Amino acid sequence: MNASRFISFCSVVLLLAACSSAPPSRYSQKHDSIPSRLPSPEELVEPTPSFEPPSRQGNRTYSLFGKTWHILDDVNEFSQEGVASWYGEKFHGHLTSNGETYDMYAMSAAHKTLPLPTYVRVTNLSNNKSVVVRVNDRGPFHGNRIIDLSYVAAYKLDMLKSGTAKVRIEALQPSEANGALATTPPLTDSTTQQYYIQVHAGSDPERLKAEAEKLQNLYQVPATTQPNDGLYKLVLGPFAEPQTNSLLEQLRTQGYPDAFRVAVP
């Protein structure tokens, strides 16, 4: 073997060795697939939109495949039409963009720019079937698709065989469910004891005002700052006792564990 052929042979060997040592994919499957069983009746139940603070992960501007995506600040009256796809077995059990675990039997979805999480109603425009899903992931980044649905959501929209479908997406506010808008329970009259919910206290009124505005938009309830012995406190309300207790429980499980109620004098 002359020197030039020997060098060529060594180059091929090194290339094959490099290919064989490439890091394995984090997915156990090369191609996505339909799971081995159908959804149970319990898994076909759609989620009810509820108040949730933005996820700590997945809500920043990001760049991928030469494009930059900006997360929407306001989803009021958000509506979009385009092609939906779905993802299943290959991604089941892996982390979503907001740090949760993807469950193909949960009513969830991926979208490129909606805040995580956002509840949306997806309607299959070919058969008028619709489903409410919770967006907790980013994607799809293939072609002109606008949303990636979980297996169970695609099953309910009857789009598994086709793989894709023309859909309409509508963002839902936390009080929306099943096509109806639930109104906030009215406050009782002044003869019934009412309460504020104190969320924060501090010496920076501007910071507290900004937080109050955020909470007011998030929970759709009155939020104000009040002087408090040289400091300031951020309070929600006032509310009647049942509404106070319900919101307080929600706040404590959604990032405000130190919130407490204070009786209105």
In a domain, 200, yes or no: yes
Q: Kindly give, in sequence order, each residue whose CB lies less than 8 Å from that of residue 37, ignoring residues fewer than 6 positions away.
A: none
> Do 160 and 57 reside in the same domain of the chain?
yes
- Decide: helix, strand or coil at residue 152: helix
pLDDT digits (tens, 9 = 90+) for 129-168: 999 999 999 999 888 899 999 999 999 999 998 999 999 9
Look up tokens 């509820």; give the residue. 50
In a domain, 93, yes or no: yes
The predicted pLDDT at position 252 comes to: 87
Contact 113, 140 (CB under 8 A): no
Contact 164, 87 (CB under 8 A): no
The model carries a pTM of: 0.58
- Decide: helix, strand or coil at residue 122: strand
Cα(212)–Cα(158) distance, rounded to whole angstroms?
43
The predicted pLDDT at position 71 comes to: 94
> Do 128 and 50 reside in the same domain of the chain?
yes
> Do 140 and 236 reside in the same domain of the chain?
no
In the listed set 181, 203, 233, which residue is the last one of a domain according to the structure? 181
CATH number, residue 232 = 3.30.70.1070
Q: Which of 10-24, 102-116, 200-214 has the lowest mean pLDDT?
A: 10-24
In a domain, 26, yes or no: no
> Do 165 and 48 reside in the same domain of the chain?
yes
Tokens describing residue 181: 């808008």
> Do 252 and 121 reside in the same domain of the chain?
no
Cα(91)–Cα(159) distance, rounded to whole angstroms?
18
DSSP string, 193-207: -EEEEEEEEES-HHH
Looking at mean pLDDT, say which of 30-44, 100-114, 213-227 comes out highest.
100-114
Q: Kindly give, in sequence order, each residue whose CB lies less than 8 Å from that of residue 55, ignoring residues fewer than 6 positions away.
A: 98, 99, 116, 117, 136
Is residue 178 over pLDDT 60? no
> Do 70 and 162 reside in the same domain of the chain?
yes
pLDDT digits (tens, 9 = 90+) for 76-130: 899 999 999 999 777 767 788 988 888 988 999 999 999 999 999 999 999 999 9
In a domain, 247, yes or no: yes
Write out the residue range of the structural domain in which residue 254 sits: 194-263
Cα(137)–Cα(150) distance, rounded to whole angstroms?
10
CATH number, residue 89 = 2.40.40.10
Tokens describing residue 250: 């929600």
Contact 175, 147 (CB under 8 A): no
Among the residues of the chain, which ranges form H helices? 3-20, 151-156, 205-219, 241-253
- Structural domains of the chain, count: 2
